[in-house]
Amino acid sequence: GAGVSQTPSNKVTEKGKYVELRCDPISGHTALYWYRQSLGQGPEFLIYFQGTGAADDSGLPNDRFFAVRPEGSVSTLKIQRTERGDSAVYLCASSFGKNTEAFFGQGTRLTVV
């Protein structure tokens, strides 16, 4: 596609449920990033993929969070046993490499009730 696509754009889920957030990067971009943005703050790094592998997952807050990118393109961020504190906008970005400009998706607004 022309840009980074994230689905769904909005997700409301009950506490304790499992959610998956999808990111479809720009074709040919090998680097893919996930961020979480809370109100009034800058994006918080979660995980960085180079190709299929997670080059840095140190930003994942705990083991309820997991992300995959099995074919080096689409990535899925998975959150188990969601908590109200997980409510945020989850942003995905992709780029050709670490020191090239990254393009962001519109984000998925997750609300845990």
Comparison of 35 and 65: residue with beta carbon closer to another protein:
35
Residue ranges binding another protein (CB under 8 A): 4, 33, 35, 40-45, 48, 55-56, 58-59, 91, 93, 98-107
Comparison of 86 and 107: residue with beta carbon closer to another protein:
107
Report yes or no: 29 and 75 within 8 Å, Cβ to Cβ: no
Q: What is the closest distance, in whole angstroms, from the C-beta atom of residue 17 to another protein in the complex?
A: 27
Comparison of 27 and 99: residue with beta carbon closer to another protein:
99
Report yes or no: 94 and 102 within 8 Å, Cβ to Cβ: yes
Read off the tokens for 28.
Answer: 């040919």
Which DSSP letter does residue 85 get? G
Report yes or no: 94 and 110 within 8 Å, Cβ to Cβ: no
Q: What is the closest distance, in whole angstroms, from the C-beta atom of residue 25 to another protein in the complex?
A: 13
